[in-house]
Amino acid sequence: MSTKKGHPTDRHVGARVRMRRMMLGMSQTKLGDALGLTFQQVQKYEKGANRIGSSRLQQISNILEVPISFFFEGGPSQGHDGRSASPMPDYIDDFLASTDGLTLTKAFSQIKDTKLRRRIVDLVEQIAGA
């Protein structure tokens, strides 16, 4: 499948690379330098425009200090008919890989009071519906 958007699995893996890189506060340039690549190549990987080879993914997992399986968690799965069925919509992956999404997720997960967390979710849903 060669489209400008890239294959769903490539987009998911790229989004997970971006999310982990941002969790570590690492720039695309720093990751690129560690891989011997330009930051533009890292951008292409993160967008899923370019497929990440197995040996390169191993390097990335070592640099970002996660197992390779991390990059596939929650990703698209292939049914018996060969069609891709993503358990999570693209907009969720995109949001979680963004700076705002990552910051919001970190802060929200630190709120221990479950009732307060539920009230925050209710508030955001009301704002979004307005």
All domains in the chain, ordered by first residue: 8-97 (1.10.260.40), 100-130 (no CATH)
What φ, ψ does residue 30 adopt, rounded to 5°? -65, -40
Residue pLDDT, tens place only, 27-69? 999 999 999 999 999 999 999 999 999 999 999 999 999 999 9
Residue pLDDT, tens place only, 88-130? 666 777 787 788 988 898 888 899 999 999 999 999 999 998 6
Q: What is the pLDDT of residue 2?
A: 45
* Residue 2, amino acid: S
Provide the β-strand partners of residue 84.
78
